[in-house]
Amino acid sequence: MNNLYFIRKNSGKTVPEIAEYLNISPQHYRRLENETRNMNKKYIEKLSIYFNVSPNDLLGYNKEDIEKIITSKEEIYKEIDFLIDKLKDLKKRI
């Protein structure tokens, strides 16, 4: 869950104000807050600057979440390398 709603409420800004800043409709902005629409890189950058928060804070990531993502990515790469080696061994036997 992103923190966009909480950050906006804490700032005292309204939906129409931020929608205008992003050059989108208030409905579109509400979808970003409600996560029925994903934020693209452009919105993340603009909103981080506007609210003076990090992208991680905006998206609701903390250090532990990021470390889990990195660790799982590294584990996936290790598994891929293992499978490639297995395939090379099989190819040699054929």
Check which CATH number belongs to the domain holding 33 and give it. Answer: 1.10.260.40
Which residues fall within 8 angstroms of residue 1, CB to CB, at 6 or more apart? Answer: 35, 60
Which residues, in sequence order, are CB contacts of 91 under 8 Å at separation 6+? none
The Cα 50–Cα 27 span in angstroms is 19
Residue 68 and residue 33 share a domain: no
Q: What is the pTM of this model?
A: 0.64
- Classify 1 as helix, strand or coil: coil
Output the tens digit of pLDDT for each of the chain's 94 residues: 688 999 999 999 999 999 999 999 999 999 999 988 889 999 999 999 999 999 988 988 776 765 676 677 778 888 898 889 888 988 888 7
Residue ranges making up the domain that contains 89: 62-94
Q: How many CA atoms lie within 13 A of 47 on its CB side?
A: 30
78 shares its domain with 88: yes
